[in-house]
Amino acid sequence: MLDEDIILRALTIAGDLGADYVEVRLQSDKNYSIVFRDGGLEVYGYEINEGLSVRTLVNGSMGFATTDSLDPSSISEVVEDSVKLARAQGGGSLRLAEIQSYSISYEARVKERFEDIDLDEKLRYLSDLDKEVVSLGNDVKVAGRTFILDYTLTRKLIATSDGIMVQSVIPRFEIMMYVVLSYNGRSMTRFTGVGGSMGWEGIRVWEPKIFFRDNIKALINVIKNAKEVEDGVYDIILGPETSGLAAHESCGHPFELDRILGREGAQAGESFITIDMLGEQISSEEVTVIDDPTLPYSYGFYLFDDEGVRARPRYLIKNGVINEFLMNRETAVVLGLESNAAARASAYNREPIVRMANTYFAPGTHSFEELIEDVDRGIYLKSFGEWNIDDRRYNMRFIGQEAYLIEDGEIKYPLWNPVFEITVPNFYARIDAVDKNLEFYPATCGKSDPGQGVPVYIGGPNIRIRGIHVSKGV
């Protein structure tokens, strides 16, 4: 499938047709998915999605064409389509940032190939998980359980007319759980999971049975014992799951330069962050937010992006200062900068656009106990249920799922669905402490039209925010 001849043929044809820039990507995604619901196999699925995309720049206009037919005539035709579409726009002003040329190949190696594990062993594992979860219920009814075991092996070969050739192989494995709990007129629904860039060995590394068991135990405590929150002002401690989501939604997305420049204006939206805010202090010196594709074994792992640019950690906020944006070659050139390798495409038939990888608050120096002991009246918001944020990424909301009242430096009892709704500048201005823990959770980040869901990690340390209004909602 990853045939260099196909790539080189496409590059040559595009050059002959007068394209100023050509980028060709062959991509194959092989996915295995098992849905196990209420103790039985719902479906076992296997998917192969592979093909070729050709992105061309002609007189400052961009064309993009894809095909899943890899015979010579189809390849010629898809290149012609791409150039024709670019040319039909009548000329534009798009340029791409400069890049070094190189040829490189890399692979995220697994210890146990997912494909080599028999299906019946996977089903036994899921059955054990299900039994474990059901057994925890007692007087709380675990009314619905769905486990999804999902593995994708992605192979790519990317080449550009400016001398890039990058070949990669990346596995991604996750186990997700959706549960419905009911007790005494109350109900709770929760999605959560573990995962990363690993093979079947992830089962031992992430210990899903322990992770899901602890989740369910905590939810049982909440559904049985949670009290209504009193509307008022609290100090908030966000757990790693929630601080990670906050970093992703309120820093990662508004720092995407395509949004800042308006390219997602009718789709994902724009940003309250503007270019002239680079260098502005928006948080305390305790706060650094990193997006790092190079984290080994992470769900958002890659070493070269889908324009072939070498990846590195991006320090979006550094010691409270807006430090850099997420950029691809198309947007970086507007600022006179090099791309920082944020171009990702979710499949062969999607254009590479600016995306996150693994976004998190950098750990600080405090212990978790130190964050708590300094709080007179607060809420420990460990996990979330509902969340959203407006399309300028200015106005965000989380509702706690596993959340506890803090009084006089001690965690007291669980709270029922405390609503935390705040502007993003206000959020960053009020963070005063970050602990030294670091946990990650797999997630799929959605953006654009047609939609592109890409694998990411959200996570981080516990962070403390002072003096926030919390309510029980409407």
Partner 1 sequence: MVEIDVSELAQNILRKVLGFADDCVVLVESSKSHQVRFSQNRIDIAKTWNETSIGIMMDKDKKVNVIELSLPSVKDIDEVLKAAEKALVSSQPKPIYAELPPISTGIKRVGTAVDPDIRDKPEKLIDLVHIAMESARSVGAKRSAGSIRGNYVSIALASSRGAEVLRDEYTNVYMDIRAFLDGEETGHASQLSRSIAGIDAEELGREAGEVAKLNANQVVFEPGRYDTLITPNAAASIMNLAARASSGFFFLMGMSFFAGKLGEEVASSNLNLYDDPFNANSRLPRLFDDEGVATRKNKIIENGVLRGLLHNRFTAKAFNSELTGNSGWVVPHPWHLEVEPGDYTRDELVTELRKGLILNNVTYIRFQNYVTGDFSGIIRDGLFYVEGGEIKGAVKGLRFSDNALRILKNVVALGNDVKDIYHWWLEFGTSVSTPSLLVKNCGYTRAFGY
Instruction: Report the site for partner 1 in 49-108 (rule: CB under 8 A).
Output: 49-51, 61-71, 73-74, 77-78, 81-82, 85-86, 88-89, 92-94
- Eight-class DSSP state of 181: E
**Separation CA 400–CA 384 (nearest Å):** 4
Residue numbers 172-211 binding partner 1 by CB under 8 A? 178, 180, 182, 187-189
Q: Stretches 117-125, 312-320, 363-371, 406-414: which one binds partner 1 (CB under 8 A)? A: 117-125
Which of 18/45 has CB closer to partner 1?
Answer: 45
Cβ atoms 142, 181 nearer than 8 A: yes
Q: What's the min distance (Å) between Cβ of 37 and partner 1?
A: 6
Residue 10 lies near partner 1 (rule: CB under 8 A): no
CB atoms within 10 A of CB 407: 12
Task: Decide whether 214 or 390 has the Cβ nearer to partner 1.
Answer: 390
Query: Contact with partner 1 (CB under 8 A): which of 59, 284, 395, 444?
Result: 395
β-bridge pairing 377-381 and 232-238: parallel
Number of Cβ within 10 Å of residue 43's Cβ equals: 9
Shortest gap between Cβ of 363 and partner 1 (angstroms)?
26
Footprint of partner 1 on 369-388 (CB under 8 A): 385-388
- Please give the size of the binding site for partner 1, defined by CB under 8 A: 92
Q: Note whether 138 and 182 are within 8 A (CB).
A: no
Q: Which residues 134-153 are close enough to bind partner 1 by CB under 8 A?
A: 143-144, 146
| Closer residue to partner 1 (CB): 242 or 437 | 242
Cβ pair 430, 468 in contact under 8 A: yes
E strand or H helix that includes residue 326: none
Alpha helix (H) ranges present in 35-162?
72-88, 119-135
Applying CB under 8 A, does 406 fall inside the site for partner 1? no
The one segment of 16-24, 129-137, 403-411, 419-427 that binds partner 1 by CB under 8 A:
419-427
432 close to 332: Cβ distance less than 8 angstroms: no
With tokens 């009718």, the residue in question is 266
Q: Restricting to residues 231-250, name those near partner 1 by CB under 8 A.
A: none
DSSP 177: E
Q: Which of 118, 184, 276, 336 binds partner 1 (CB under 8 A)?
A: 118
DSSP type of residue 74: H
Q: How near is the Cβ of 438 to partner 1 at its closest, in Å?
A: 26
Distance CA 240, CA 13 (A): 50
Alpha carbons within 13 A on the beta-carbon side of 429: 8
Q: Which is nearer to partner 1, 74 or 444 (CB)?
A: 74
The smaller minimum CB distance to partner 1, of residues 48 and 205, is found at: 48
Return the amino acid letter for 232: G
Query: Which lies closer to partner 1 via its Cβ, residue 104 or residue 119?
Result: 119
Report if residue 116 touches partner 1, rule: CB under 8 A: no
CB of 418 to partner 1, least distance (A): 11
Under the binding rule (CB under 8 A), the answer on residue 294 touching partner 1 is no
Looking at the Cβ atoms of 41 and 303, the one nearer to partner 1 is 41
160 binds partner 1 (CB under 8 A): no
CA dihedral 403, 406, 412, 413 (to 10 degrees): -30
Please report, for residues 166, 281, 312, the alpha-carbon distance to residue 171 in angstroms, rounded to integers and kept in the order given: 17, 38, 20
Q: Does 349 bind partner 1 (CB under 8 A)?
A: yes
- Contact of 55 with 23, CB cutoff 8 Å: yes
CB of 50 or CB of 150, closer to partner 1:
50
Q: In the complex with partner 1, which residue's Cβ is closer, 146 or 444?
A: 146
Q: Name the strand (E) or helix (H) holding 5.
A: helix 4-16
Task: Tell me the HSE value of 371 on the side-chain side, using a 13 A CA sphere.
Answer: 30
Residue number with CB closer to partner 1 (73 or 296): 73
48 is written with which tokens?
A: 């192969």
Footprint (CB under 8 A) of partner 1, residues 440-459: 449-451
